[in-house]
Amino acid sequence: MDLRSRYSTLFHSKRFQSKHFELKRSKSLQAIHRTFSLLLALSFGSVSLGACQPANQDTSSSKADTVAQRELSQEVYVWQRQWRDANQSALVESQSTFNGVRILALQAHPKPNGTDIWFEVRVNHEWLQADPRPKVAVIRLDGQLTRLNNREALQKILALIQDWQAKGTKLAGIEIDHDSASSKLAAYNAFLRELKSQLPHTLKLSITSLPAWLSSPAFPPLFDNIDELVLQIHSVSDPRLGLFDPAQGWQWVEQLSQLAKVPYLIALPSYGSAVYSTASGYRVESEVPMRMPSANTASSQHLARQELMADPQVLQSFVKKLHNFTDPKLKGMIWFRLPLEGDKRVWPLSTLIAVAKLQALAPQIELEILNTEPRLSPSEAPKTSLFQLVLVNKGNIAGELPGQLSLAAQACSGYDAQNGYQAKLTQGTLVWQLPQATSTERAAEPASSQFAPNLISAVELSPNGRRVIGWARCESLYLQGIYAP
């Protein structure tokens, strides 16, 4: 083949390849165009489909995320009749969470002969004055008072205000805590009208309200003589419902929102009570121990005692709901009560703060192995040491005791378990076991109990709680594992 033929063949070959490439590229572009058009159509179809979704589709979660929660006031009751050093530390530690304190200051009790007993709480004014938060003095008028001695009550209240002011404690207001019967609200309103007229104009007048009042025609007129109302939605009206029934409580909040003419707050529980079931009904023991029949009497055989405690997780859910409530008259919430160290019928302060701040709630149970031997020089120290085993809860809510603990032990000469646990040593491993089937504590809490589920459990460890579970004398002792029940 000559040179011209070669070039012609090569030219036609290249031309064919070029055409072939252009054809392939054209087909590829068409395919891409079709794919893009299909995706675009599907995209518009998806948008249209989403836009045509029924109105009852659940989009609340996404909407809730974009709606900012309301800033509600968080206050706390100081409800101790005898102040001690723990009051000061509790006041200081609570300042970062609660922006107001309401202090039990004066209390009236009825007597059978018709005269009233007045008790004034000896608060520490130095501690109160060091606290920068607004302070409200609470006057507790016992609900068992057959009548209000208006003149005496007014004198006592006005004298209290003057005394606090003279001592340098500035008050933002006073609160009357009177569990009046609904049938006596008109007479109570007359007392409030007279009190309001004699109060210094710088002080607001608050009252607590029982849910039973909300259905009384005498309730709305109370707003004409007060500046603020506190709705108490916690009590032990029926132990089967516990200290706090969130469904019923929310109904009361909504009912009040339709009636209120002044700002209001919701009083929430952070405490516990003992409930005795007797032949004649229920009796509640909260702050003051009750005189109950001794164990040897016939009447004591008909007593059933349970410890109720407000559930932190239930209350935290309720707080979240309040934050999203749209009534502008809702000012905030007040917690009953400020916990002191050693008070076993109230949440620890760490729990109360976590609930109020909507922080995560969880137990954190750990084992402390304490060497109880005195420190001696190496030459004097014995080969073995006496170890004490203590469970501690470093979390912010109660948690169940671990069902089993495993410890690596070396040269143990003795050991023993306590508080429901059993111990055994097998091949250098000490095991502490909490047998479920034989635990008398668990058996004492049947699932069919007539009381509410929010009981203080004997197999739970409260926040900051400590429980000794035994001892061991060994050369060395180390925790290998701690296991849930």
Q: What's the fold here for domain 68-270+310-356?
A: TIM Barrel (3.20.20)
Residue 210 identity: L
User: Alpha-carbon distance 145 to 87, whole Å?
Assistant: 30
Of 373, 296, 340, 323, the residue nearest 92 (C-alpha): 340
How far is it, in rounded angstroms, from Cα 237 to Cα 463? 27
Residue 58 DSSP label: -
Other C-beta atoms within 10 Å of 382: how many? 10
The pLDDT of residue 445 is 47
In this predicted structure, the answer to whether residue 28 has a pLDDT above a threshold of 70 is no
For the chain, domain boundaries: 68-270+310-356, 272-309, 365-483
Segment 52-79 mean pLDDT: 59
Best CA proximity match to 222, nearest among 174, 176, 266, 265: 176
What's the token pair of residue 436? Answer: 């479920």
Q: What are the C-alpha distances in Å from 374 to residues 382, 411, 475?
A: 10, 20, 15
| pTM for this model (two decimals) | 0.78
The domain at 365-483 falls in which architecture? Sandwich (2.60)
Closest-CA residue to 109 (of 153, 162, 159, 57): 153
The SS3 call for residue 34 is helix
- Better pLDDT: 109 or 119: 119
What 3-state class would DSSP assign to 1? coil
> Is the preceding peptide bond at 345 cis, omega within 30 degrees of 0?
no
Ranking 12-21, 203-212, 436-445 by mean pLDDT, the lowest is 12-21
Q: For residue 82, with 0-12 CB atoms within 10 Å meaning exposed, 13-18 middle and 19 or more buried, which class applies?
A: exposed
H or E element that contains 304: strand 304-309
Average pLDDT, the chain: 81
Residue 48 has pLDDT above 90, yes or no: no
Least reliable range by pLDDT among 407-411, 446-450, 454-458 = 446-450
Check: CB of residue 111 under 8 Å from CB of residue 71.
no
**C-alpha to C-alpha distance for 85 and 412, rounded to whole angstroms:** 43
What percentage of the chain reaches a pLDDT higher than 70? 72
Q: What are 353-373's pLDDT values in tens digits? A: 999 999 999 999 999 999 998
**Which alpha helices (H) appear in 67-203, and where do they start and end?**
85-94, 125-129, 150-166, 185-198
**Does 378 have pLDDT greater than 90?**
no
Compute the average pLDDT of residues 86-91: 98
SS3 40: helix
User: For position 379, what pLDDT does the model report?
Assistant: 62
Give the pLDDT score at 381. Answer: 61
Rounded to an integer, what distance in angstroms lies between the CA atom of residue 483 and that of residue 406? Answer: 8
In the prediction, which pLDDT does 277 show?
64
* CB hemisphere CA count around 447 (13 angstroms): 0
